[in-house]
Amino acid sequence: MDHFEYRDGKLFCEDVPVRAIAKKVGTPFYLYSHATFARHFNVFDGAFSQIPHIVCYSLKANPNGALLRIIAKSGGGADIVSGGELYRALGAGIPADRIVYSGVGKTPEELRYAIESGIRMINMESESEFKTLRRLSRKMKRRVPVSIRVNPEIDPKTHPYITTGLKKNKFGILWEDAARIYREIAAEEYLEPVGISSHIGSQILELGPFVEAITSLKKMVLELRGLGMAIEMLDIGGGLGITYKDELPPEPKDYAKVVNENLGDIGITLVLEPGRVIVGNSGVFVTKMLYVKQTAGKTFYIVDGAMNDLVRPSLYNAYHDIVPVEQKKRKAKVVDLVGPICESGDFLAKDRELQGLKEGELVAVKSAGAYGYAMSSNYNSRRRAAEVLVRGDEFFVVRKRETLKDLIRGEKTPSFLEVE
């Protein structure tokens, strides 16, 4: 259950009518259900209750501080890929010993910040990063728990832009190189090889690729232990898919079952990095009809939300279900739902059958909790949308809509261009 439902033809988020929020907050805005988000986290976490584990929520999916507070209060951790995400996670109360850091381009400054913060593990993604960490650890004389993100060369059968475990991808290190680097790490005074990590992709809808990855990683763990390394953590990443249209992704309990069966009792703590599966269907994007435009053979519904707000349809040709905030007994139309951006690629749906809508009416773009606001921008000098969290019969603005002044915050005009 995602806690977005119709009551007497009106869309509610938990016990709050969406239209009432729009009237107060304006449009467009992102809307999250506290009950859905918390339930998704608890279901995922509970599925692995028989295995020592840490659920490290993937901030890149949606880093809103209110959602991170829910993670912290639920006992979760954080999967981060930047110093900014580390700052957010710590600020939301997520303990440093529940934070793992991946990413191919960590700067020396970011790595220093992570070391000083005492996070649980840094997942190295290249030999050059190993050399940087070696230099920093020696200089700082600080113990640094590390793993290597191994590229297992497994096809996750998902969109090529979100595939990360193939040889041609920029992520991770092939095992023959990783094994050599692990031996070098073990010889270091301050670097401590505590884990091994992998992440094969996102929006994965089959269990087979996960089984392949677990089987491969288990062999690597045992090989490293045979060399005397106390590998205690196995980071298997995230990637479990969700339903956008008619997909039938595995349930967390089924995922946990195959992980447990194929991993066995090797005395290791699992690190899991779910993002989309927790937050994706916890949120919708609400936008208002501005105009109906009819051309030869084509009807456009022009709304005040755009690709700068939700880029997934334009970037991936991704499908998001779109529903009216108020159901009306009107004939459906096949339309393109588009925004005001000056790009032909600015669309939320193409050739979609939608309820007939009039100017000023609202629609909700579903499954927008993940990679929605997180990937938004100020393109065309558009202000980024508000974010709202509902809990029961109350709603809270957890990020204000940007102002026009926010658009130029940080800019500075050189003196020779000042108006006299």
Backbone angles phi, psi at 260, to 5 degrees: -60, -45
Cβ-in-10-Å burial (0-12, 13-18, 19+) of 175 comes to buried
The yes-or-no answer on residue 13 being catalytic is: no
Cβ-based neighbours of 238, under 8 Å, separated by 6 or more? 58, 79, 199, 202, 272, 273, 274, 275, 276, 277
Residue 396 pairs in a beta bridge with: 389
Could you give the C-alpha distances from 373 to 28, 62, 108, 400, 401, in angstroms and in order?
11, 7, 28, 12, 11
How much helix, strand and coil, in percent to the nearest 5, is found in the chain? 35, 25, 40
| Tokens found for residue 193 | 């090889």
149: left (phi over 0), alpha (psi -120 to 50) or beta: beta
What backbone phi and psi angles, to 5 degrees, belong to 124?
Answer: -75, 145
Q: How many alpha carbons fall within 13 Å on the CB side of residue 67?
A: 33
> Nearest 5°: CA angle at 85, between 380 and 238?
100
Per annotation, catalytic residue among 1, 248, 296, 342: 342
Amino acid, res. 79: D
Active site residue ranges: 342
